[in-house]
């Protein structure tokens, strides 16, 4: 399948964590511009935890899709999916 080739799987694996972090940081930055007081380190820690969870979930799903397509070189691709 087309999603099992390395450029597409790296792109798909990198877009989801990047998108989730960008959305969270957008809300934090828009709150700062509106002069709302937040504890910045707590929210940044939350964004970091969301990034870690999203990367873990995307890695599991992409590894599953590569194993379902019977790719015998899945280990480096599964590492690079969220490293991109």
User: How many Å apart are CA 51 and CA 62, to the nearest integer?
Assistant: 16
Residue 5 sits at φ, ψ, to 5 deg, of -75, 145
Instruction: For the full predicted model, state whether its pTM sits above 0.75.
Output: no
With 0-12 / 13-18 / 19 or more C-beta atoms within 10 angstroms meaning exposed / middle / buried, residue 73 is exposed
What's the confidence (pLDDT) of residue 10?
81
Q: Which mean pLDDT values do the consecutive 10-residue runs of the chain (84 residues) have? A: 76 81 81 72 80 85 83 77 70
User: How many Å apart are CA 23 and CA 3, to the nearest integer?
Assistant: 25
């Amino acid at each position: 399948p087309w999603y099992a080739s390395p450029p597409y799987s790296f792109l798909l694996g990198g877009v989801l964590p990047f998108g989730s972090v960008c959305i969270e940081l957008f809300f934090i930055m828009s709150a700062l511009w509106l002069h709302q007081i937040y504890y910045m380190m707590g929210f940044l820690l939350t964004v970091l935890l969301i990034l870690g969870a999203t990367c873990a979930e995307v890695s599991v799903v992409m590894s599953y899709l590569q194993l379902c397509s019977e790719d015998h070189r899945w280990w480096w691709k599964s590492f690079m999916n969220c490293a991109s």
